Chains A and B, each alone.
Chain A
C-alpha cells in the first residue's frame, strides 16, 4: 500500500435513533486502488459510502480524503472535496427532467462551469466510452432500459474525470450478461482515469471482477479484508458463508422459521 491513503476511515460510528448501523468502521484505500465492500442487506454498506460523501454525518470517528478531515469540515471545504468524486447510484438516479446528454454533462456545466457546447462534446465522448450511440444522447432517461440507465449513470460518474469514484451496487437488477458488461466498463473506465474506487455490492462475481481488495462488512464493522485472491481461502466463516450464499452459518438472517 502507498505511504498515504487516498481515503481513510477510522472508528466511524453512525446510529439512527436506537439502531447502531456503523460500529467503528476502519478502512484504508490507497491511491489508484479498487476496493469492494461486500456484505448483506442492511449491514451498513450504503451508510458507509454516504458518510464518506458527506451526505450523512457520522456520530464519531474520522474520515480523511487525501489526508483532509471530512467529518465536521466546513461546507465550503466539503464542496471543494466533492469535486474529486464521481458516483454511480444503485438506481442510476438520472435526472428524469433532462435528456441523457444533459445528465452526463451536468457535473461539467453546473459543477465546473463549462460551456454547454463543449460539455456536450465531452458527454457524447463519455457515452461512446460506455458503448452508447449518439442517438441515445437526445432521449429521456425514462425511455432507456435498466442496463442503459446504468451505463448513462456510469458515463455521468466519469464525466468530470474524478479522482475517486463510488459504485453503489453497480450490477443490482441487471441480467448476468449486462452485469458483466457493466463490470468490464467499470474496470476499463477506471483504468483509463487511474481513479481510486470504492464499490459496495452483494454480487460476488462483480466483486471478484472489479476489486483489487475486498472488505466484508457485518453488523457495522469490517470483519475481514484482503486481496481478491485470498477471498476463497480467507479462513473466515462469515466470508465463506457469504461468498457461497449459504443460509446456514454464523450470519443469522432475521427470518421467522415456520
Chain B
C-alpha cells in the first residue's frame, strides 16, 4: 500500500511537471510570436533596455571584477603546483569570456531584473491592471512581455561584454600588483590567446540567459494569483527557475559550442 502511494505521488509530481512545462511552452511561444507581430512598442522597449542594461551595470561590473580577481589568485596558486604560473592570463581570459561572465552575469540579472519583473507584472495581475489593459484594446503580450523579452535578449550580451572586460581587468590588476607579472606581457598573452569563438560563445549564452530571465519573470508574474503572497511566490519562482534554467542551458550550449 505504501509502495502504491509512493508511486501515485511520484506520478502526480511528474504529471504536474509536464503540465507546468506545457503551460510555459505555450506562454513562451505566444510571447515570442508577439515579438514579431505589430503593433510594436519601441519606446517601452527602449525604457526596458535602459532599466535592464544600464542599471544592471554596477551589479554585473562588481560581480565580474571580484570574480576575475579571485580567479587570478586561484589559478596562480593552482598552476604553481606544476610550475605553470605563466598561464594565469590565458586561463583568466578564457574562464571569464566563456563561462564566468555569462553565467554569473546571468544569475545576477536573474536576481535583479527577473525578480523585479515578476513583482511588477504580478502586482499588475492581482490588481486587475492586466485585465484593464485588455479592456483598453491593448494586448498585454505586446505591451508588457514582448518589450521585456527583446530588451533582455539584447542587453544581457551587452552586460556580459562589459563584464568580460572588467573581469579580465580584475585579473590583470591582481596579477600585476600582487603576483608581480609584467603588465605588457600579461596584456599581450591575453590578446594573443583569446579567440573570437571564446567571446562569441559567451555572448550567445548571454542572449539565451537574458531571454530565460525575462521569460521567467514575465511568466511567473503573469500567472500570479491572490494578492501579496502570490506576488511573493511569483518573485521567488521567477528567480529560482531562471537560475536553474540558466545553469542547464549553460551546460547544453557549452556542449554545442565546444563538442569537437
Interface residues of A (CB under 8 A from B): 50, 53-55, 79, 82-83, 85-87, 89-91, 93-96, 106-107, 110-112, 156, 160, 166
Q: Which residues of B contact A91 (CB under 8 A)?
A: 127-128
Q: Given that A89-B128, A93-B129 are known contacts, is A79 also in contact with B136, CB under 8 Å in the complex?
A: no
Q: What 15 new A-B contacts, CB under 8 Å, besides A53-B135, A82-B135, A106-B136?
A: A54-B134, A87-B132, A89-B131, A91-B127, A93-B128, A93-B131, A93-B132, A94-B129, A94-B132, A106-B138, A110-B136, A110-B138, A112-B137, A156-B136, A166-B135
B143 at the interface (CB under 8 A from A): yes
Number of A-B contacts (CB under 8 A): 53
Instruction: Give the contacting residue for B138; candidates A50, A55, A111; CB below 8 A.
Output: A111
* Distance in angstroms between the alpha carbons of A112 and B138 in the assembled complex: 10
Tell me the bound Cα distance from A83 to B137 in angstroms: 6
User: Could you say which interface size class chain B belongs to?
Assistant: 10 to 19
A82, B132: Cα distance in complex, Å: 11
Q: Which of chain B's residues have a CB closer than 8 A to the CB of A112?
A: 137
Q: How far is the CB of A103 from chain B (nearest CB, A)?
A: 9
A90→B126 CA distance, assembly (Å):
12
- In the complex, 9 of the A-B residue pairs with CB atoms within 8 angstroms, ordered by the A residue number, are A53-B134, A54-B134, A55-B131, A79-B139, A85-B135, A89-B132, A107-B136, A107-B138, A110-B138
Instruction: Closest A residue to B134 by CB, please name it.
Output: A55
For A87, what are the chain B residues with a Cβ–Cβ distance below 8 Å? 132, 135
**CB-defined contacts of A94 to chain B, threshold 8 Å:** 129, 132
- B135/A95 in contact, CB under 8 A: no
Contacts of B138 in A (CB 8 A): 106-107, 110-111
* B137 & A95 in contact (Cβ 8 Å cutoff): no
CA A106 to CA B133, docked complex, whole Å:
9
Chain B positions 116-173 with a Cβ under 8 Å from a chain A Cβ: 124, 127-129, 131-132, 134-139, 143
Q: Which 10 A-B pairs have the closest CB atoms?
A: A111-B137, A93-B128, A107-B136, A93-B132, A87-B135, A110-B138, A89-B128, A93-B129, A82-B137, A106-B136
Q: Which residues of A contact B124 (CB under 8 A)?
A: 95
Q: Which residues of B contact A106 (CB under 8 A)?
A: 136, 138
Chain B residues whose CB sits within 8 angstroms of the CB of A83 once the complex forms: 137
**CA of A107 to CA of B136, assembled, Å:** 5
Contacts of A93 in B (CB 8 A): 127-129, 131-132
* A residues near B137, Cβ cutoff 8 Å: 79, 82-83, 107, 110-112, 160
Highest count of chain B CB atoms <10 Å: which of A83, A87, A107, A110: A110
Q: Inside 8 A of B129's CB, which chain A residues have their CB? A: 93-96
CB distance from B181 to the nearest CB of A (A): 50
Nearest-neighbor residue (CB-CB) of A108 within chain B: B136
From B135, which residue of chain A is reached at the shortest CB distance?
A: A87
Q: Which of chain A's residues have a CB closer than 8 A to the CB of B132?
A: 87, 89, 93-95, 156
Residues of B within 8 A of A86 (CB): 135
Q: What's the Cα separation between A94 and B130 when bound, in Å? A: 10
Q: How far is the CA of A48 from the CA of B136 in the complex (A)?
A: 19
Chain B residue at minimal CB-CB distance from A50: B131
Set of chain A residues within 8 Å of B131, measured between Cβ atoms: 50, 53, 55, 89, 93
Distance from A119 Cβ to chain B, minimum over Cβ atoms (Å)? 12
Q: Of B135, B138, B143, which is in contact with the most chain A CB atoms at under 10 Å from its CB?
A: B135
Across the interface, which residues of A come within 8 angstroms of B135, CB to CB? 53, 82, 85-87, 166
Q: How far is the CA of A161 from the CA of B127 in the complex (A)?
A: 24
Q: In the docked arrangement, what's the CA distance between A89 and B135, Å?
A: 10
How close is A229's CB to chain B, nearest CB, in angstroms? 31
Chain B residues with Cβ under 8 A from A96's Cβ? 127, 129
Checking A82, A90, A156 against B134 with a beta-carbon cut-off of 8 angstroms, the contacting residue is: A82
- Measured between beta carbons, the chain A residues less than 8 angstroms from B128 are 89-91, 93
| A110 contact set on B, CB distance < 8 A | 136-138, 143
**Chain A proximity of B75: nearest CB distance (Å):** 46
Please report the C-alpha to C-alpha distance between residue A204 and residue B244 in the assembled complex, in whole angstroms: 52
Which of A83, A96, A112 has the largest number of chain B CB atoms within 10 A? A96
Cα(A249)–Cα(B143), bound, Å: 48
Residue from B124, B132, B134, B136 with most neighbouring chain A CB atoms (10 Å):
B136
| Nearest-Cβ distance from residue B3 to partner chain A, whole angstroms | 28
A86 to B137, CA, bound (A): 10
- Chain A residues closer than 8 Å to B143, beta-carbon distance: 110
Q: A166 contacts which chain B residues (CB < 8 A)?
A: 135
